[in-house]
């Protein structure tokens, strides 16, 4: 079973992604969720890609329990903006997970943007990634993260 770094704990994932068989709750593709937004059951999950406009989730954001932002490749920054909009403008409070090309060197800034769960690249060392959450004790910007809380000026 897939291991997820969630709230600083390495835990087994209870969710299935859209293309996965098996038991347990299944996260759905973005288009499916947006189409069903008006009647979406509470506790739903969604997987979004880099081009999705997360503001389309506004009508159903309160009924989502999981948003997985998938990073197709190292260095694609779009997911960082998606997270900021979800946390700051749509006030999404539940699990926000980064999946795909996620390495320890991305973790700190992802957490600053509001990600609180990481489905790491299979080659990455989860303990080393966890340690990176403590990389910086200070920062220059306000941000939406709760997993890391660097000290700000003033």
- Taking the least distance from each CB to another protein, the nearer of 99 and 144 is 144
Helix locations, the chain, DSSP H: 30-35, 78-84, 104-112, 126-132
- The distance of closest approach from Cβ of residue 144 to another protein in the complex, given in angstroms and rounded to an integer, is 8
- Taking the least distance from each CB to another protein, the nearer of 9 and 151 is 151
- The distance of closest approach from Cβ of residue 59 to another protein in the complex, given in angstroms and rounded to an integer, is 16
Residues at the interface with another protein (CB under 8 A): 74-78, 80-81, 84-85, 88-89, 103, 105, 109, 112-113, 135-145, 151-154
Tell me how far apart the alpha carbons of residues 75 and 70 are, in angstroms, rounded to a whole number.
Answer: 12
- Taking the least distance from each CB to another protein, the nearer of 14 and 149 is 149
- The distance of closest approach from Cβ of residue 92 to another protein in the complex, given in angstroms and rounded to an integer, is 13
**Dihedral of the CA atoms 138, 130, 103, 7 (nearest 10)?**
-90
Q: How far is CA 130 from the centre of its chain?
A: 15
Tell me how far apart the alpha carbons of residues 128 and 57 are, in angstroms, rounded to a whole number.
Answer: 33
- The distance of closest approach from Cβ of residue 78 to another protein in the complex, given in angstroms and rounded to an integer, is 6
């Amino acid at each position: 079973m897939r291991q997820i770094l969630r709230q600083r704990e390495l835990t087994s994932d209870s969710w299935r992604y859209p293309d996965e068989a098996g038991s347990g709750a299944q996260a759905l593709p973005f288009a499916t969720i947006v189409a069903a937004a008006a009647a979406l059951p509470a506790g739903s999950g969604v997987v979004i890609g880099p081009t999705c406009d997360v503001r389309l989730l506004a009508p159903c954001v309160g009924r989502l329990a999981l948003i997985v932002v998938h990073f197709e490749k190292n260095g694609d920054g779009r997911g960082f903006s998606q997270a900021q909009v979800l946390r700051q403008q749509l006030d999404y409070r539940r699990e926000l997970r980064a999946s795909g090309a996620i390495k320890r060197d991305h973790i700190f800034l992802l957490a600053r943007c509001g990600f609180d769960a990481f489905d790491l690249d299979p080659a990455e060392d989860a303990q080393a990634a966890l340690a990176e959450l403590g990389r910086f004790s200070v920062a220059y910007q306000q941000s939406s993260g709760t997993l890391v809380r660097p000290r700000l000026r003033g």
